[in-house]
Amino acid sequence: MPNNFYFFIGKKYNESEIENLLISVDKKITNIVESFIKGRIVKESNSLIRLQFSKVLHNVFKGRVPKLSRNISSTKDCVKCGLCLRNCPQGNITFENGHAVFHSKCILCLRCIHICPINVIRYKGKKIDQTQKNIIQVLDLNK
């Protein structure tokens, strides 16, 4: 998820870095699928330290999601198009008092921020660059 958490960790990838990341992921997925089709068992090699570090990081982040997600809000400029509401995987958004309101089931996927056509969803009141420009094309918006 290149750039999904740039607002949180402070590092924002540029276009070519994102391109390179996506190319390397694409190659990795192709290799995994080819191995699977050929019936080969492939084990990812990973250092124990890295694994433990990832587990700790995951647990810390998971524990903080409910608190962090309370920082998401929409401005009064929301036009109630319903895109965020229909596409939130958690059903976490409703309309109240004329704009989108976020509840407690958020998993911080940030789909709502990237899909809002007028970019009025804020994190800690700050405007976030929409970095997943193709998201509207890949989602079924008619459901």
Q: In this structure, what token pair is assigned to residue 16?
A: 């070519």
Residue from the set 18, 107, 135, 139 that interacts with ligand SF4 by CB under 6 A = 107
Contact between 120 and ligand SF4 by CB under 6 A: the answer reads: yes
Taking residues 21 to 40 in sequence order and writing x for each that binds ligand SF4 by CB under 6 A, - otherwise, the string is --------------------
For ligand SF4, how many residues bind (rule: CB under 6 A)? Answer: 28
Q: Which is nearer to ligand SF4, 109 or 139 (CB)?
A: 109
Residues that bind ligand SF4 in the complex, under the rule CB under 6 A: 69, 74, 78-85, 88-90, 92-93, 100, 102, 106-112, 116, 118, 120-121
